[in-house]
A and B are shown apart, each in its own frame.
Chain A
Amino acid sequence: MATGGRRARHRPMPLLWFVPVLALLGLVTIYPAAFVVWMSFQKTNYFQLQGFVGLSNYVDVLGSDSFWSVATISLVYLAGSLVLSLAVGVAVALLFNAIGTTGGVLRVLTLFPWTLSMAVVGSIWLWMLNPSFGPVAYFLGEAGLSPGLMLGDPDLALALTILVTAWWSFPYVMVMVTATIQSIPAELYEAIAIDGGNAWHRFRYVTLPHLVPTLGSTGLNLAIIYLTLVTLLIVLTGGGPLDATTTLSLEIFRGTVQSVDIGPSAVLSVVVLAINIVLGAIYTRLTGRVTG
């Protein structure tokens, strides 16, 4: 929506206005992103670069079984969290929207988990899911179910991690969906009513078509968050048990803080970076953010 500086009496020199932000982003984001690509082609010894080795790091990493198992876990974690938070987010948004003022109050309250840090979310749920003293294990036990080790159970840990992630992030979906629903012109619903449509018709032919773009962009945004999320996993499981919840990003984090051979970490970084840029490019398309 550029309207142009047609009558700029003082020549605006437009690019100059972008210099500060470009300097900041160039230094902190663009340069390291380029550098990590360079690193991924280097033979490394801890944090020392020892010369160009072409694709050798890629061959090592992509040829290992552990990479594919970590990639699979990342995918399951991402898809599971996404499906759950989108479904619950839409359902709760519709429910709250249907109950007027009460819904508005409940919406504000329900948004609250989204404002909490992943460290706080993680510690609250670590306590909720504590197998010895936590309330979830206790009430499951009372109901005659054996809760077992919960987050310490390799078969359960990933599913529980997905549940916690959805608990924390579905409010974001709810807010985006609500904003979309409330922007739908009332005439469209009136038209359906005139045609004798029922609640299902209203949802199917008016609400849903309006929601699809929002769900696409919100889902992509969440996918990016889930793909690169580390803190919640560190707190909940530390990637365990038996690496059952180790994702690509957690592996990068470990590689960095443990200062092990960083060549492979650089390769993982490039993989995550590439996936992110693809997701981000689609997101940009969907939201039409670049104009002018």
Chain B
Amino acid sequence: MSSSMSARPLAGLAQRGLGLLVAAVVLGPIAWGLATSLKTEVMAVALPPTIIPSPLTFENYLGVLAYQGFLLELWNSTLYAVGAVLVALLVGIPAGYAASRFDFPAKKLVMMVILATSMVPGVAVLVPTYYVLDAFGLLNDRFVIVVLLAARVAPQTVWFLQNFIDAVPIEIEESAALDGANRLQILTRLVLPLIKPGIAAIAVIGIVTIWNDYITVAVFAPDIGKRTLQVALVNQVFDAVGISWSYMMAFAIMASLPVMILFGLVQKWFVAGLTAGAVKG
């Protein structure tokens, strides 16, 4: 395939053109949303539609910032995403380490249980979880939301960590043990720094996953002060009476901005996290 490029430059050129076309089609809707967000409300619904907004206006973005809920929702989104990933790493690191380094009879069973939990979809436990949280008066509790979301990323955290730690040569640990370091010191001072890229990949995937969650927060923290940007966005769609599309597109972009930036900065780690353990070399 790639060798045909030099042999048949025209075919290579055609492939390039087709590639650009595919990317344009895929990114088209996002570009359209972006263009809409930079139009006035009147211009957004004008026919025929203008592709490039003129005059360019930032009134929608200013409107989003001026809307009083925005900063609180941004804070909630951040708190839930970062908090849940930290909790998942906190409980996942010892498990991932033990899974990689220790052998004991029940290990296979324990790992099966952890894996099995990743097959329990959030939607299947909505009813019982709501029932229990309601009974204990735990709805609309930020801490509860963090714990619920942490459990969603914990299984993959353990599995990825095991993979990454497997790749660390055991000899390094053995020599540290000879120097008198204990397990915990070996883990925190030696192993964790070595697998930093892996941890970054896990964190990026986890943060993106949780940042994008709608269901958990919408159902278990419906209180307007506890909701996230995603919940606020969906609620805007519901209030579709007199909806301003240009404002909504600006809101959608603002709600995605942290993820866009994160993805732009660390797309390699994002891909590493996606493919970790899923493709056999």
A contact residues vs B (CB 8 Å cutoff) = 1-5, 7-10, 12, 14-15, 17-18, 20-25, 27-30, 32-33, 35-36, 39, 47, 92, 94-100, 102-103, 106, 108-113, 115-120, 122-128, 130, 132-133, 135, 138, 142, 167, 171-172, 175-176, 179-180, 183, 199, 202-203, 213-214, 217-218, 221, 224, 227-228, 230-231, 234-235, 249, 252-253, 255-257, 262, 265-266, 269-270, 272-273, 276-277, 279-281, 284, 287-290, 292
Q: Known contacts being A111-B267, A167-B26, A228-B122, is A117 close to B212, with CB within 8 Å?
A: yes
**How far is the CB of B210 from the nearest CB of chain A, in Å?**
10
| Bitwise interface map of B from 167 to 187 toward A, beta carbon under 8 Å scored 1, else 0 | 000100010010000110000
State whether the Cβ of B66 lies closer than 8 Å to any Cβ in chain A: no
Judging by beta carbons under 8 Å apart, are A99 and B249 in contact? Answer: no
**How far is the CB of A137 from the nearest CB of chain B, in Å?**
10
Contact of B91 among A9, A21, A213, A235 (CB under 8 A): A21
Interface residues in B98-127 by Cβ distance below 8 A to A read: 98-104, 106-108, 110-127
Judging by beta carbons under 8 Å apart, are A95 and B117 in contact? Answer: no
Total number of B residues with any Cβ neighbor in A under 8 Å: 112
Judging by beta carbons under 8 Å apart, are B23 and A110 in contact? Answer: yes
Contact of B120 among A1, A99, A273 (CB under 8 A): A273
Judging by beta carbons under 8 Å apart, are B132 and A32 in contact? Answer: yes
Contact of B215 among A130, A135, A231 (CB under 8 A): A231
**How far is the CB of B66 from the nearest CB of chain A, in Å?**
20
Contact of B27 among A94, A110, A128 (CB under 8 A): A110
Query: From A172, which residue of chain B is reached at the shortest CB distance?
Result: B274
**How far is the CB of A38 from the nearest CB of chain B, in Å?**
8
**How far is the CB of A32 from the nearest CB of chain B, in Å?**
4
**How far is the CB of B68 from the nearest CB of chain A, in Å?**
20
Q: Known contacts being A99-B15, A127-B249, is A25 close to B255, with CB within 8 Å?
A: no
Which residues of chain B are near A281, meaning CB under 8 Å?
119
Interface of A is mostly: helix
Which residues of chain A are near B1, meaning CB under 8 Å?
94, 97-98, 199, 202-203
Judging by beta carbons under 8 Å apart, are B174 and A7 in contact? Answer: yes
Which residues of chain A are near B275, meaning CB under 8 Å?
175-176, 179
Judging by beta carbons under 8 Å apart, are B124 and A33 in contact? Answer: yes
Q: Give 20 pairs: A residue, B residue, CB < 8 Å, sorted on A.
A: A2-B101, A4-B101, A14-B98, A21-B114, A24-B147, A24-B150, A24-B151, A25-B117, A25-B155, A27-B147, A35-B132, A94-B1, A117-B212, A119-B252, A130-B245, A175-B274, A217-B278, A234-B214, A284-B115, A290-B112
**How far is the CB of B51 from the nearest CB of chain A, in Å?**
9
Contact of A123 among B2, B16, B128, B252 (CB under 8 A): B252
Which residues of chain A are near B218, meaning CB under 8 Å?
257
Which residues of chain A are near B113, meaning CB under 8 Å?
22, 25, 30
Query: From B147, which residue of chain A is reached at the shortest CB distance?
Result: A28
Q: Known contacts being A12-B98, A18-B94, A98-B5, is A252 close to B127, with CB within 8 Å?
A: yes
A117-B256, A253-B123, A281-B119 are known; give 9 further A-B pairs, CB within 8 A: A27-B151, A106-B22, A119-B237, A124-B249, A124-B252, A217-B278, A228-B121, A252-B123, A269-B126
Judging by beta carbons under 8 Å apart, are A28 and B124 in contact? Answer: no
User: Considering the chains assembled together, what is the distance between the CA atoms of A58 and B86 in angstroms?
Assistant: 40
Contact of A292 among B2, B49, B111, B115 (CB under 8 A): B111
| Bitwise interface map of B from 144 to 180 toward A, beta carbon under 8 Å scored 1, else 0 | 0001101100110011000000100010001001000
Q: Known contacts being A29-B151, A231-B214, is A290 close to B127, with CB within 8 Å?
A: no
Which residues of chain B are near A214, meaning CB under 8 Å?
278-279
Judging by beta carbons under 8 Å apart, are A112 and B154 in contact? Answer: no
Which residues of chain A are near B107, meaning CB under 8 Å?
2, 14, 292
Judging by beta carbons under 8 Å apart, are A256 and B248 in contact? Answer: no
